[in-house]
A and B are shown apart, each in its own frame.
Chain A
Amino acid sequence: MDPFSSAFVAALELIASLDPNLLEVIGLSLRVSLTALALACLIGLPLGALLAVVRFPGRGAVVVLVSALMGLPPVVVGLVVYVTFSASGPLGPLQLLYTPTVMVVAQAILVTPIVAALARQVIADLNVEYDETLRSMGTSGRMTIATLVWDARYSLLTAALAGLGRALAEVGAVMIVGGNINHVTRMMTTAIALETSRGDLSMAMALGIILIALTIAINGAVMAVRNGMERRAYG
């Protein structure tokens, strides 16, 4: 069998056997990345809305900066978080290095600019349409942002999905701050890197197939829910 078919068979066998190690790795990947995404949305959505609506000196520069940070190299983020949380670093006393918690922190830093930049774009577009109406009603700044975020909710879901994709796919940051410790901090991507370096290509490919399938499944599910809800809200 060529490497692709054998990898595919291996993947199917892994899934069919409900291999506990595999489930553990998938579980940790989802837990870390979804938690990081939640944090990123908590910070990124209001930040994006503020940048879309509020005018202040230097706003253009901040927008450029946030957009540029979408391309942050994961290894560099990993390195900075590593130094911050290492024994001699400022947050060293928390002793969080090589835990899922610090992996969440690293991924949240990676994902926040993506959520913020995409949210800013979506909300700015909607504000062009709503601005005159909301101002004519004397809407307060806080209420304007709340209105725009709520009405853009389905488009913002796409921004969140882009962030989740980034988190699930990256390997550099979680590898450095998590250490790829079996049963503790091993995720899908770090496991793939490990199996590849160990020469177990079919195992690595199998994990890769599962990761991609998982990403497609999550996106498909969210899009289906989004379409249904959107039809009900927009007609």
Chain B
Amino acid sequence: MADRPGSSVIPFAPTPGAGGELPALALQGLVIERGGKRLLDGLTARLPRSGITAVMGPNGAGKSLALRAIMGLIPVNSGAVWMHPSVAGAVALVFQRPVLLRRSVRANLAHALKVFGVPRRERPQRLTELIRLGGLTNLADRPARALSGGEQQRVAMVRAFAAQPRLLLLDEPTASLDPQHTGAIEWLIRTAAEGGAKVILVTHDNGQAHRLADDVLFLHHGRALEHTSRSRFFDRPVSAEARAYLAGDLLL
């Protein structure tokens, strides 16, 4: 019922970086309070124009919440979200547990193309492309909700692709999948990034962050504690919390 996510952002503009470059996405002091608890506690970050940013951190760090706030799905108490004009209005989100419509796979994707305003005459061809991209040719006419978790997540991924997103937000898309389906989803993530979309990937899977991420944003208690390149994050984490997280210690 809301405006297209990303079409309205709170006025705030980041300053250009060293090379004069603006980020794809900038968060300025995001605060979300619920029941007296600060779930996001002044989250500030600027994410580079391209590539895959992994968002990591223990449960309750505010990773999923941050994605929903960026999407405009939940109100923030204060702070601002800024999107580069090249991505604003072309943002898609894939949830950890996808909610597919009670229709066939094909009808789910056709519905998305319609919602995203793809002209009617272009839809059949786009539909075929999406089905092929998701490896869903043999499943296209099956009821979407009868598919396995991994197959459903593939449908959800290409449904997001129907928006031709310039910014793709992924909330632990492989959290409950077996390695084979994880591989398929990771291939789709790479495809999106190589196609020029900025990808923000929330993940608990160190291996996945290793395989995919260009940079890592580490959250803890609703704040960004570290934002650095993947290799630096895994080899020389700065904060004690990130070191403990990578060592597998329980963070409270």
Chain A contacts to B: CB under 8 angstroms? 53-54, 129-130, 132-141, 143-144, 147, 150-151, 232-235
**12 further contact pairs, Cβ within 8 A, besides A137-B112, A138-B2, A234-B146:** A130-B99, A132-B68, A135-B73, A136-B5, A137-B92, A137-B116, A138-B116, A139-B115, A143-B114, A143-B115, A151-B103, A234-B102
In the complex, whether B93 has a CB less than 8 A from a CB of chain A is yes
Which residue on A lies nearest to B159, using beta carbons?
A: A137
- Inter-subunit contact A144/B111 (CB<8 Å): no
- Inter-subunit contact B146/A235 (CB<8 Å): yes
From residue B138, how far is it (CB to closest CB) to chain A in Å?
15
In the complex, what residues of A have CB within 8 A of residue B104's CB?
A: 233
From residue A93, how far is it (CB to closest CB) to chain B in Å?
44
In the complex, what residues of A have CB within 8 A of residue B71's CB?
A: 136
Q: Which residue in B68, B146, B147, B163 is a CB contact (below 8 Å) of A137?
A: B163
Interface centre among B102, B111, B115, B145 (most CB of A within 10 A): B102
Chain B residues numbered 51-96 whose CB sits less than 8 Å from any CB in chain A: 68, 71, 73, 92-93, 95
In the complex, what residues of A have CB within 8 A of residue B92's CB?
A: 136-137
In the complex, whether B4 has a CB less than 8 A from a CB of chain A is yes
Which residue on B lies nearest to A137, using beta carbons?
A: B115
From residue A233, how far is it (CB to closest CB) to chain B in Å?
6
In the complex, whether B143 has a CB less than 8 A from a CB of chain A is yes
24 residue pairs from A and B, CB less than 8 Å apart: A132-B73, A133-B98, A134-B1, A136-B71, A136-B93, A136-B95, A137-B92, A137-B112, A137-B116, A137-B163, A138-B115, A138-B116, A140-B115, A144-B1, A147-B111, A151-B101, A232-B143, A233-B103, A233-B104, A234-B102, A234-B143, A235-B142, A235-B143, A235-B146
In the complex, whether B235 has a CB less than 8 A from a CB of chain A is no
In the complex, whether B3 has a CB less than 8 A from a CB of chain A is yes
Q: Which residue in B1, B3, B111, B143 is a CB contact (below 8 Å) of A233?
A: B143
A136 to B142, CA, bound (A): 24
Secondary structure at the B interface, as helix, strand, loop or mixed, is: loop
What 0/1 pattern do residues 3 to 25 of B give for CB contact below 8 A with A?
A: 11101000000000000000000
Which residue on A lies nearest to B5, using beta carbons?
A: A138
Decide: A129 near B1, CB < 8 A? Known: A233-B143, A234-B143.
no
Which residue on B lies nearest to A129, using beta carbons?
A: B99
A141 to B2, CA, bound (A): 8
In the complex, what residues of A have CB within 8 A of residue B115's CB?
A: 134, 137-140, 143
Which residue on A lies nearest to B6, using beta carbons?
A: A138
- Inter-subunit contact B143/A53 (CB<8 Å): no
- Inter-subunit contact B1/A141 (CB<8 Å): yes
Task: Please give me the 7 A-B residue pairs with the lowest Cβ-Cβ distance, nearest first.
Answer: A235-B146, A138-B4, A235-B143, A133-B99, A136-B93, A151-B102, A139-B115
In the complex, what residues of B have CB within 8 A of residue A141's CB?
A: 1
In the complex, what residues of B have CB within 8 A of residue A147's CB?
A: 101, 111
From residue B23, how far is it (CB to closest CB) to chain A in Å?
22
Decide: A132 near B99, CB < 8 A? Known: A143-B115, A233-B143, A234-B143.
yes
In the complex, what residues of B have CB within 8 A of residue A150's CB?
A: 103
A134 to B100, CA, bound (A): 10
From residue B152, how far is it (CB to closest CB) to chain A in Å?
11
What 0/1 pattern do residues 125 to 161 of B give for CB contact below 8 A with A?
A: 0000000000000000011011100000000000000
A138 to B92, CA, bound (A): 9
A129 to B99, CA, bound (A): 7
Which residue on A lies nearest to B3, using beta carbons?
A: A138
From residue A55, how far is it (CB to closest CB) to chain B in Å?
9
In the complex, what residues of A have CB within 8 A of residue B1's CB?
A: 53-54, 134-135, 139-141, 144
Interface centre among B1, B93, B143, B146 (most CB of A within 10 A): B1
A219 to B142, CA, bound (A): 28
From residue B76, how far is it (CB to closest CB) to chain A in Å?
16
From residue B233, how far is it (CB to closest CB) to chain A in Å?
28
A38 to B104, CA, bound (A): 28
- Inter-subunit contact A234/B145 (CB<8 Å): yes
A133 to B73, CA, bound (A): 10
Which residue on A lies nearest to B163, using beta carbons?
A: A137
From residue A151, how far is it (CB to closest CB) to chain B in Å?
5
What 0/1 pattern do residues 104 to 124 of B give for CB contact below 8 A with A?
A: 100000011011100000000
A129 to B128, CA, bound (A): 28
Which residue on A lies nearest to B142, using beta carbons?
A: A235
Which residue on A lies nearest to B146, using beta carbons?
A: A235
